[in-house]
Amino acid sequence: MRPLFEAQVPKLETAPHEIEDAACSWPQRGLYAVSDGASESYHSASWARVLVRRFIAHPALGADWLAEAITEYNTGFDRAAMSWSAQAAFDRGSFATLLGLSVSRPEERVRLLAVGDSLAVLVSGGHLVASFPYERPEQFDARPMLLSTVSERNEALLRPANLQAMTAEWGLKGIVNPRIMLMTDALGAWLLAGGDERVEELLTLPSAAAFSRLVSEERAAGRMRRDDCTLVVLG
């Protein structure tokens, strides 16, 4: 599979530099990742970028992988030079989702890793046939488990049973004109609430500007929550 479309829309159209989502890919290796930094945490955009880059470089998740990611994140800040309030925020940690996808060769199977509420969707012949980690829009109402820059906060997440629940595999054999969409939570909840009609809207977007208009219209109509939106379409 190869990238067909990628675009982002910030929560505030007037502040695109404040977007806290991140996306990264290595098409030659069939690796793709999306992350959504939590707005209430310290410099979550930086943490999201670290996570997607590390997944592309080494598509796995475990204690050592996460410890190295945290070290990389921490090297980007000088805590001693921060104000006391910034130090307190830094010590509370940064949080983000991670949605990673790896395509096997030949392209018959896709492996998924999902921590948090960023969403992957499998489309066959224009119809939504699978989604992960959620299948229903109301699941987005629950507080998701997120990756943290504070090691102790990741202990429950790294338990074997939880790690297993965060993985899935899709077979592409027999799928008609397969498309996979990766997206962050506001867009994912909107998509699952509307089904195939909204799948078609996303698959036929002609440009990033059209995506921005769609998001703005759906926000204004109250059908989409105001948050950063990232969309990656593969096919």
- What is the DSSP secondary structure assignment for residue 107, as one 8-state letter? T
143-174 pLDDT, tens digit each = 999 999 999 999 999 999 999 999 999 999 88
CB 131 within 8 A of CB 195: no
Strand partners, 171: 109
Could you tell me the pTM of the whole model? 0.95
Alpha-carbon distance 40 to 157, whole Å?
Answer: 20
Long-range pairs, 45-48, Cβ under 8 A, ≥24? 45/18, 45/19, 45/20, 45/21, 46/73, 46/76, 46/94, 47/73, 47/94, 47/95, 47/96, 47/147, 47/149, 48/20, 48/21, 48/22, 48/96, 48/97
Q: Who wins on pLDDT, 24 or 41?
A: 24
Domains, in order of start, for the chain: 3-234 (3.60.40.10)
User: Tell me, what's the pLDDT at 102?
Assistant: 97
User: Tell me, what's the pLDDT at 34?
Assistant: 98
